[in-house]
Amino acid sequence: MKAFGEFFYRVFGIFDFFDMYHSWWFQMLIVLLLINIIVCSIDRFSRTWKIIFVKNPQFNVSRFRSLSNKEEFVKDESPQQLKSIYETIVPKGFGYSQTEDTEEGFCIFAEKWRWTRLGVYVVHLSIVLLLIGAFLGSNFGFDGFVNIPEGKGVKSVRISDSAKTHPLDFEIRCDDFNVTFYESGAPKEFRSSLTILENDKPVFQKNIIVNDPLRYKGINIFQSSYGLLPPEEVTLKFTIKESGISYIKKLMIGQQTSIPEGLGTFVLKDFTKSADFMGHALGEAFIGVIEPANGVSDEIILPLRFPSFDKMRKGEVFVSVEEYKEKYYTGLQVTKDPGVWVVYSGFILMIIGCFITFFMSHQQICVEVIKSGKKTKVMIAGTSNKNKLGMENLIARILKRLNR
């Protein structure tokens, strides 16, 4: 609200701009696009169906004669002598062929890959699957995150980029967390030992690392981040300045204790990750309050990096951190997308459809052999719905075989 103001914040909320993937208008666009693709495909499919699924295709030799993509040559043999030879050569590599006798000779028709005209519809179907998968993920999936301290469990996650929470049908418990570092101090690997509980009973356990998630009931749990929790217990050393005697005490955050030798009381107030003293960053530190027996209470800083920092303070006792136990939390990304396999299927179909559409074509050829005086005239012509250069190369290869 501070970034946009109250008015625009409410407008953005109405249109779900903070979670557009799950917004009503995004889902409506998916449905409209889906309907548009289906209607357009059905409108054109009837004509394609008649071309592909015909048992006995009709060939018109006059159509091939008018093609620019043709070759002609003359042979000494008669049409009847060439017929038996050409009937074994021409159909090679074609799925369908037929021979028709004419008054002056014969014609051989052949075609292949009629079904490749379906390539564009395979692409359309892949887009339909992608949209259906997106719709399923938008309506029935979620993408959330959760931080779990060691030894604790959660039954809900917070939706990403939203203040909403999503309940789970089970509990995720972090039994242990370990992190290893490089010599430079950068994290090398962090690993969470997770247990899934149903009705307070463990049903599944796995140690997860980055890119090796736990999957349970269609929900994916990824190792995403980690962090340190404020220490719950710390061991402090109280040193009396006059005698030099030190006393050890264990305290919890918020706990009060008496200072040895009757010098007052001490309260362990808080823990901070970024303490500051007179403009200097001290890093992680405990904050405490000393109340001397005779004097005014004083808030003190106990930096972890500088154990003797409190010596600079005037007083009868100084305090330092002797020992504390670090406790981590694991940051998990929890996702569910029931449409993911539909989307994967759509991608596979799109690759297949694009290959068929761009690299394969419906090809038809005609070899006409007619008597021309004492010679025999041979014409080879072909057509394809795509890849005209490929048809020219095919005719050249057939011409070479027939000329032998």
CA distance linking residue 27 with residue 33, whole number of Å: 10
In the chain, list all ranges with CATH 3.30.310. 54-113+361-403
Query: To which residue do tokens 């040559």 refer?
Result: 73
- Distant-in-sequence contacts of 280-287, Cβ < 8 A, 24+ apart: 282/306, 282/309, 286/231, 286/234, 286/321
Query: To which residue do tokens 């970034």 refer?
Result: 3
pLDDT-above-70 percentage for the chain? 96
Lookup: tokens for 226: 């980690």
The predicted structure's pLDDT at residue 56: 77
Indicate the pLDDT class of residue 286, thresholds 50, 70 and 90. Answer: very high
Q: What is the DSSP pairing of strand 298-303 with strand 142-149?
A: unpaired
* 337 has a pLDDT exceeding 70: yes
Please give the CATH architecture assigned to the domain spanning 54-113+361-403: 2-Layer Sandwich (3.30)
Contact 289, 269 (CB under 8 A): yes
Query: To which residue do tokens 């106990």 refer?
Result: 302
Helices (H), 113-246: 119-140
Residues in a beta bridge with 207: 193
- Measured over the CA atoms of residue 241, residue 247, residue 250 and residue 251, the dihedral's sign is negative
Secondary structure class of 255 (helix, strand, coil): coil
- In terms of Cβ atoms closer than 10 Å to its own Cβ (0-12, 13-18, 19+), residue 290 is buried
* 1 has a pLDDT exceeding 60: no
pLDDT-above-90 percentage for the chain? 43
Secondary structure class of 361 (helix, strand, coil): coil
The predicted structure's pLDDT at residue 305: 86
Lookup: tokens for 362: 């419906």
Secondary structure class of 42 (helix, strand, coil): helix
Give residue-wise pLDDT tens across range 212-223. 999 999 999 999
Give residue-wise pLDDT tens across range 72-91. 999 888 989 899 889 988 99
Say what the pTM is: 0.65
* 161 has a pLDDT exceeding 80: no
The predicted structure's pLDDT at residue 8: 67
Question: How many other C-beta atoms lie within 10 A of the C-beta of residue 233?
Answer: 14
| CA proximity to 61, closest of 334, 365, 281, 280 | 365
Phi-psi region of 295 (alpha: psi -120 to 50; beta: other; left: phi over 0): left
| CA proximity to 188, closest of 214, 213, 209 | 209
- 157-166 burial string, b = 16+ CB within 10 Å, else e? bbbeeeeeee
The predicted structure's pLDDT at residue 138: 81
* 9 has a pLDDT exceeding 70: no
Lookup: tokens for 105: 């000779």
User: Mean pLDDT across the chain, nearest whole number?
Assistant: 88
Contacts of 398 (CB under 8 A, 6+ apart): 89, 90, 365, 367, 380
Least confident of 51-60, 117-126, 169-178: 51-60
CA distance linking residue 68 with residue 382, whole number of Å: 9
Strand ranges (E), 150-297: 153-159, 165-181, 187-198, 201-208, 214-216, 219-229, 233-240, 246-252, 256-259, 264-277, 280-292
